[in-house]
Structure 1
Amino acid sequence: MKSYRTDGSGRPDGITLADVAIPRPGPGEIAVRMRAVSLNYLDLKVIAGTFPGGRSGLVPLSDGAGEVLEVGPAVSAWTTGDRVVTTFFPRWQAGPISDGARSVIPGSTVDGMLQEVVILREDAVVAAPAHLDWGQAACLPCAGLTGWQVLTGARPVLPGEVVLVQGTGGVSLFALQFARAAGARVIATSSSPAKAERLRAMGAETVIDYRQTPDWGDAVKRATAGQGADHIIEIGEAGTLEQSIRAAAIGAQINLIGRPVDAPKVDPAILMLAMGATYRRIAVGSRADFEAMNKALSALRIEPVIDRRFGPDAISEALRYGAGRGQFGKIVIHLDEDV
C-alpha cells in the first residue's frame, strides 16, 4: 500500500511516498481503508517541523474517513464495510481529558492518516454520518468537533445570543453553522469582499473587514448596540486576542482555538474580571462529544464547507495550497479517486 511520510525538509509539501506491506489488525483493532483525509493548520505545522511532536518519517494528518477493511480478534463494535471517521484524540473517550489521552495525537505524536490502510483501536473511530460523503466526513474530527465544543461545552450558546467568528477556516465555518442552527446571531471577520458575501449567504448578520477596520472589537460593539459578543471564537494565531477582549459582552466566553501570537496591549485579566468574562482553551473534544455532534449533524443535515478537493496524485499540490491559508472552508484529499 501507499504510505506518505514527512521528509524533514520543512517544506509545505515535505513528504515522501513509500510502498509498504498492508498491516493486519490485532486484538481489539480494526484496519480502515482510508477514503479521504482533510487538512488542518496543525498538520501543516507538523510537516514544517514547527509543532512539538512532529518528526521526520512520521505519517502526517490527523483526520480521515474510510471503511472497515478487516476486524481483529475480540472486536464487537464494527464489521467489514462499516463507514467510520477517526478521532483526533483516540484515547479520550468521555469526560475531562487526561494527560495520557492528550499525548496521543495521530499525525503528530503517532503516525496519522495519510496512508491507504490504517490500524486503529476499535474505540478510536465513530460512525460516519450517512448523509456525508467521504470527503465531508473527513472534515469532522478536528475542525468540526472544535466548532461544536465551542458552542455546546461549558457555556452552551442560546437563541438570540451573539457569536463572533474569525475568518473562513474550518472551525469558524462549522461554528457559524452550529450557531445559526441554535438561533444565535453571527458576526464574522474577513478581509475579502468575496468571502464576506459567502459568509453573509451562510447566515452571518454582519461581516467586518479587519484590514479596513483594525479596531474591529469596537466595531462588534457598535454592531450590537454596545452589548458585544457572547461567544467569541478566538483563532489566536493572528494576534487577535486584544480585539476579541474588546468585542466581548459582559459575561462572555472567549474560546481560544490556536496559540496566542503577540501579547495584547491590555491586561486580559483586568478586562475579563471587569466584564465577568471567561477565557476557555478548546481541546477539540472526546469520542462521546463526537457522537453527540454527529447526531446533530444528521438531524439538521449540516454539511461541512469544502473549499477544494484533491485526488491521490495531487497530494503535494494540496499541501502547498493549504499552506497559502487563503481557503474558504476545508481542504480534502481523496486517496482512492481522482476529483
Structure 2
Amino acid sequence: MQVNVWQFDKVGEPLISATKTFNLPAAGRITVKNYAIGINPVDWKFIDDNPRNWQPGHVPGVDGAGVVVAVGEGTDEYLLGKRVAYHHSLGEDGSFADHTTLYSNRVMEIPDGVDFPLAAALPCPMLTAWQAFSKVPVRAGADVLVTGMGAVNKLLVQLLVNAGFNVYVISGSFTQVQAEAMGVKKVYRHAPKEQTFYALFDANGPDYAVKLVPLLEANGHVVSILGRIGELVDAPFTRTISYHEIALGALHDFGDRAQWHRLMRDGEALLRNVAEHSMVVEIPNIFEFGKLNDALQFSEQVKRKAVVIV
C-alpha cells in the first residue's frame, strides 16, 4: 500500500512530503498506524547534520504512538489492535509517516488515561531519563546535582526524588514553582562553591560537566546525557570517579532482546505513573501532520516539546 511520509532530501533543508510503498511487516516485526508523532532534538539535529549518512527518501523520526495494525510471520498476534508508544532506530525509516514498521519487542503498551499525543511525547525523554537514573546505585539521602533542565532532566529529577535522593539543580530557567512541584531541594543559578555531591547528571555538555566534576565526593558518579567526557579529570587511583555515558539510540544497534524487554517493561511502568498523575509531565504543543516542518522548527527554536497529530 501507499503511505504518507515526510522524507529527508538534503542536509539542513526542510523535509519533503511524499508517498511511499509500504510492505507487510517481516518476521519479528509489526506495523503501527501512527496517531501522533513526537518531535525530539535528535530529529532536527540529524536533519541538520546527517551523521548517519541518510540518503534522499529516508523517513526520519524516533518517537511515535498509535495502534498495531499488522504483525509479521511468527510474531505473536497479541499486539494486534493494541495502543502502543515506541522509540525507533535512527538507521531505519522512522515515525514521520502515517504507518511505521518496527520490532515487535520495542513497543510499550499505552495505559488508559494517556492519550496518543502525550504518549508520543514521552519515549525518548522518558527512557533516556530512566537510563540515566539506572546508571547510579541508589543511596537514599545522598545529594545529587542535575544540570540542563530540558525534557529529559525534568523527568529524571522526579525519578531521583522518588528514590530518596536529595536533588539540587543548576539552571537559569527552572523556576522555584517547578522545583517545589518536583521535590527539588534547591535551584542554583551558578555552580555551588561549598557543597559536594554523590552524583552529577549533566545535560549541558562535556565542557560544562568537566568544570563540575571537582564537586563530586570520592567514589562519586558523573552521568553525561549530552555528549561524553573524553578524558578523566582526576589522576588514576585518587577519587576514583565513575564516568557514565547515555545514548538511548545506541541500544538499537547494540542491545539484545533481554535488554529491550526490560526497558519496555520499565517504560510501561513509567507510563502508568503518568496515567496516575504521580509524575509531572509537560503538555506538548500540537501541530497537524502537514505542518511537520513547522514542528521541527518550533522544537529547535523555542526549545519546547512538539507533537504532530496524524
TM class by shorter chain equals 0.7 to 0.9
**1:138-192 per-position Cα deviation (integer Å, ceiling 9, x unaligned):** 2343221121122223x33332222322222121111011112212221112222
> Which residues in structure 2 correspond to 1:219-258 (within 5 Å)?
219=192, 222=194, 226=195, 228-237=196-205, 239-258=207-226
Provide the C-alpha distance between the structure 2 equivalents of 1:293 and 1:43, rounded to a whole number of angstroms: 21
SS at match of 2:105: helix
Provide the C-alpha distance between the structure 2 equivalents of 1:323 and 1:238, rounded to a whole number of angstroms: 21
**1:31-79 per-position Cα deviation (integer Å, ceiling 9, x unaligned):** 1011222222221111112533444322111111111112233221534
| Deviation (angstroms), 1:324 | 1.8
SS at match of 2:238: helix
User: What number of residue pairs does the alignment pair up?
Assistant: 295
**1:192-237 per-position Cα deviation (integer Å, ceiling 9, x unaligned):** 2x6454234322221122xxx3xx1xx0x53xxx3x2222222253
Judging changes above 3 Å, is the alpha-carbon distance between structure 1 residues 183 and 40 closer, same or farther for their aligned structure 2 residues?
A: same
* Aligned position for 1:82: 82
Within the candidate set 126, 132, 137, 2:114 is matched to 132
Q: Which runs of 5+ in 2 are unaligned?
A: 252-258
Compute the RMSD of aligned alpha carbons.
2.6
* Aligned position for 2:233: 268
Provide the C-alpha distance between the structure 2 equivalents of 1:196 and 1:243, rounded to a whole number of angstroms: 25
Provide the C-alpha distance between the structure 2 equivalents of 1:174 and 1:168, rounded to a whole number of angstroms: 9
Provide the C-alpha distance between the structure 2 equivalents of 1:55 and 1:230, rounded to a whole number of angstroms: 44
**Which AA in structure 1 matches 2:272?**
S
* Aligned position for 1:92: none
> Which residues in structure 2 correspond to 1:152-191 (within 5 Å)?
152-153=134-135, 155-191=136-172
| Deviation (angstroms), 1:279 | 0.3
**Alignment partner of 1:331 is 2:295:** no
Provide the C-alpha distance between the structure 1 equivalents of 2:176 and 2:228, rounded to a whole number of angstroms: 24
Provide the C-alpha distance between the structure 2 equivalents of 1:61 and 1:196, rounded to a whole number of angstroms: 34
Aligned partners of 2:146 and 2:201 also within 8 Å = yes
Judging changes above 3 Å, is the alpha-carbon distance between structure 1 residues 308 and 229 closer, same or farther for their aligned structure 2 residues?
A: farther
**Alignment partner of 1:115 is 2:97:** yes
* Aligned position for 1:101: none
Judging changes above 3 Å, is the alpha-carbon distance between structure 1 residues 238 and 44 closer, same or farther for their aligned structure 2 residues?
A: farther
Aligned partners of 1:162 and 1:185 also within 8 Å = yes
Provide the C-alpha distance between the structure 2 equivalents of 1:34 and 1:189, rounded to a whole number of angstroms: 37
| Deviation (angstroms), 1:313 | 3.1
Aligned partners of 1:186 and 1:205 also within 8 Å = yes
Provide the C-alpha distance between the structure 2 equivalents of 1:77 and 1:282, rounded to a whole number of angstroms: 33
**Which AA in structure 1 matches 2:185?**
E
Provide the C-alpha distance between the structure 2 equivalents of 1:296 and 1:306, rounded to a whole number of angstroms: 16
**Which AA in structure 2 matches 1:24?**
L
**Which AA in structure 2 matches 1:289?**
L
Within the candidate set 184, 187, 199, 2:179 is matched to 199
**Which AA in structure 1 matches 2:179?**
L
* Aligned position for 2:246: 282
Aligned partners of 2:166 and 2:185 also within 8 Å = yes
| Deviation (angstroms), 1:303 | 5.1
Aligned partners of 2:182 and 2:280 also within 8 Å = no
**Which AA in structure 2 matches 1:132?**
V
SS at match of 2:207: coil
Provide the C-alpha distance between the structure 1 equivalents of 2:138 and 2:307, rounded to a whole number of angstroms: 29
* Aligned position for 1:4: 6
Provide the C-alpha distance between the structure 1 equivalents of 2:297 and 2:162, rounded to a whole number of angstroms: 33
> Which residues in structure 2 correspond to 1:27-42 (within 5 Å)?
27-42=27-42
**Alignment partner of 1:142 is 2:119:** no
Judging changes above 3 Å, is the alpha-carbon distance between structure 1 residues 198 and 307 closer, same or farther for their aligned structure 2 residues?
A: farther
**Alignment partner of 1:291 is 2:273:** no
Judging changes above 3 Å, is the alpha-carbon distance between structure 1 residues 86 and 297 closer, same or farther for their aligned structure 2 residues?
A: closer
**Which AA in structure 2 matches 1:112?**
G
**Which AA in structure 2 matches 1:43?**
D
* Aligned position for 1:103: none
Within the candidate set 283, 289, 293, 1:312 is matched to 289
| Deviation (angstroms), 1:132 | 2.2
